[in-house]
């Protein structure tokens, strides 16, 4: 029988590319601000502004846009023109309209697992943007449920698992963020699969658990996930044991 009752996937930078959209927008913002003789500060100041604004605006492109505008006003000492503010808003539209590009082997992996496991997406960010990306990804039908939350922390994971009547020991989370996808699940006694993405937002950075941590697994790419699950089933390993 399946070793897990529910497997959940993060969305951004786990199933499809996302962070590079933000890095591209940040580079364009820095280029715009350079015309105001602002150099070398944009990235660091933008991150400071984002971090400060999370509690007000949450996550996602719309929140990012407000932080870009605020950063631009501050760094130009109120000199930024209305036309350039509109240019920043245009950057946000470009991000929202960008094609959803799946990571290698994402579609094949969730398609294969969906025939044996109950699958779910747990992601955070702007509700409309995330719903739209899920729909455009072509993966929606492989998942029994899509959950978009304001924060991915222990409290929200507990609430979601209670709602699904799933014991944490029978739950696996797959994602690229140690802070949001891995550590809260291990605290609950579940299993977590870390699939690193080449670039990670500073806010999501955290120290990795030790390799021997019960329930913790690290893979190079999603294509390795079916083999891991088969290994757990064939060998009769407890979900809470480290491979």
- Rounded CA gap, 40 and 96, in Å? 27
Regarding pTM above 0.85, the answer is yes
Structure tokens at 207: 């120290």
pLDDT of residue 217: 96
- Rounded CA gap, 131 and 1, in Å? 32
pLDDT of residue 242: 39
pLDDT of residue 235: 73
Structure tokens at 68: 């870009």
> CA quadruple 213, 107, 235, 170: dihedral positive or negative?
positive
Domains of the chain and CATH, by start: 6-16+102-234 (3.40.50.1000), 19-97 (1.10.150.240)
pLDDT averaged per 10 residues, the chain (length 243): 93 97 96 86 93 95 97 96 98 96 98 97 95 97 96 96 96 97 97 95 90 92 97 68 40
Q: How far is CA 147 from the centre of its chain?
A: 13
pLDDT of residue 239: 46
pLDDT of residue 38: 81
pLDDT of residue 236: 62
Q: Which residues 6+ apart lie within 8 Å of 101 measured at CB? A: 16, 17
């Amino acid at each position: 029988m399946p070793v897990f009752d529910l497997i959940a996937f993060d969305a951004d930078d786990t199933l499809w590319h996302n962070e590079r959209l933000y890095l591209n927008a940040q580079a364009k913002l820095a280029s715009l601000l350079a015309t105001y003789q602002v150099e070398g500060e944009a990235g660091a100041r933008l991150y400071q502004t984002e971090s400060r604004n999370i509690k007000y605006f949450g996550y996602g492109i719309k929140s990012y846009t407000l932080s870009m505008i605020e950063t631009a006003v501050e760094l130009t000492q109120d000199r930024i023109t209305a036309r350039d503010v509109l240019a920043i808003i245009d950057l946000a539209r470009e991000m929202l309209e960008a094609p959803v590009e799946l990571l290698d082997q994402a579609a094949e992996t969730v398609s294969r697992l969906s025939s044996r496991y109950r699958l779910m997406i747990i992601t955070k960010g702007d509700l409309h943007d995330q719903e739209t990306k899920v729909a455009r990804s072509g993966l929606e039908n492989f998942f029994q449920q899509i959950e978009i939350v304001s924060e991915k922390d222990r409290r929200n994971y507990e609430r979601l698992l209670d709602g699904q009547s799933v014991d944490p020991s029978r739950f696996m989370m797959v994602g690229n963020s140690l802070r949001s996808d891995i550590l809260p699940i291990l605290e609950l006694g579940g299993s977590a699969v870390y699939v690193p993405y080449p670039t990670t937002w500073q806010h999501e950075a955290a120290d990795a658990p030790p390799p021997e941590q019960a329930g913790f697994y690290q893979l190079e790419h999603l294509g390795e996930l079916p083999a891991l699950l088969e290994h757990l089933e064939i060998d009769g390993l407890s979900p809470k044991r480290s491979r």
